[in-house]
Amino acid sequence: MTSDTGLDQDTDLPLLLDALRAEGLSAEPVAWDADPGRWGGFDLAVIRSTWDYVGRLGEFLAWAEATARVTRLWNPAPLVRWNSDKRYLLDLAGRGVPVVPTRCIAPGAQCAEEDFDGPHGVVVKPSVSAGARDTARYEPGRAADAVLHARMLLEQGRTAMVQPYLPLVEEGERALVFFAGTFSHAIRKQALLTEPGQMDNSRVAHPGAALHTPTEAELRTARAALAAAPVRGEPLFARVDLVLDEARGPVVMELELIEPNLFIGLAPQGADRLALAVAVAAREAKA
């Protein structure tokens, strides 16, 4: 399933539809907020480019739960709910997964400048966001600006997240893609927050994306993140975004389980591997 924006901009979608039909499946792109009575007519509903859900989170989560009652939903509704708020990073850290150090500030809490500074500055973002919306980084000595950003989010009733800026992100973010728990491919993309102090919601989400051969440490960290997700079995699709810390060890920036770009157009047989995973799930749904 997709959205009006996804239908226009999701470059994965036509490739996946072709691969699904080559598997002998009947596949149709449908906006998630279409007539709710439609979902019972499908053996399987696969969330893809539902890119407008962030501003309608309550509605989207209610839709996921209702849809899961009439068909098999991937990824499952409880996993979608958990993954919709980036505070899941705290859960991953609590389960021993190396993540970017993260502090969350809930509405009503106080902000102090000493909490918004570090040797390389900080990144401030809302805990519910996609495509780095309302996100910016602040250089050392600009803690007052970072506090203003956090307070803006808190005044909107949103939870603010504060993370140290990791300079090695400038060597590229890694994104490792898995289908049904099996590694498919990885990409490396350029750093996104290139201009300090700038909250640019029109920035290109994945600049310079190109295929990447992950290290064993990157694969190990990505698999640890997947294993720590609160779901039985493997997600149908997953993207684990990593960055290197100052010791050059990979740490999780995000574990994307709802609507990530999977870059299947960059990976030979990427669409075929995803279509095969969907076909297996469809057969199991009918069994």
Q: Return the CATH number at 154.
A: 3.30.1490
Predicted TM-score (pTM) of this structure: 0.95
- Residue 153 lies in domain: 103-164
By DSSP bridging, strand 173-179 and strand 122-126 are unpaired
Judged against a pLDDT cut of 80, whether residue 201 lies above it is answered with no
- Count up the domains in the chain and report the number: 3
Q: Which of 43-47, 122-126, 130-134, 254-258 has the weakest average pLDDT? A: 130-134
Q: What are the tokens at 3?
A: 């959205």
Q: Closest Cα partner for 255 from 285, 235, 275?
A: 235
Q: CA distances (Å), 285 to each of 70, 74, 230, 235, 266, in order?
A: 12, 11, 21, 15, 30
| pLDDT (0 to 100) of residue 86 | 97
Q: Do 174 and 255 have their domain in common?
A: yes
Sign of CA dihedral 262, 127, 119, 192: positive
Q: Do 108 and 126 have their domain in common?
A: yes
Of the ranges 126-130, 249-253, 278-282, which is most confident?
249-253
Q: Phi, psi at residue 244, to the nearest 5°?
A: -90, 135
Sign of CA dihedral 172, 251, 129, 78: positive
| pLDDT (0 to 100) of residue 287 | 64
Q: Do 126 and 45 have their domain in common?
A: no
| pLDDT (0 to 100) of residue 5 | 84
Is 248 part of any domain?
yes
| pLDDT (0 to 100) of residue 4 | 84
Q: Do 149 and 175 have their domain in common?
A: no
Q: Do 64 and 129 have their domain in common?
A: no
Q: Do 176 and 160 have their domain in common?
A: no
Looking up residue 187, the CATH number of its domain turns out to be 3.30.470.20
Domain boundary among 115, 141, 164: 164
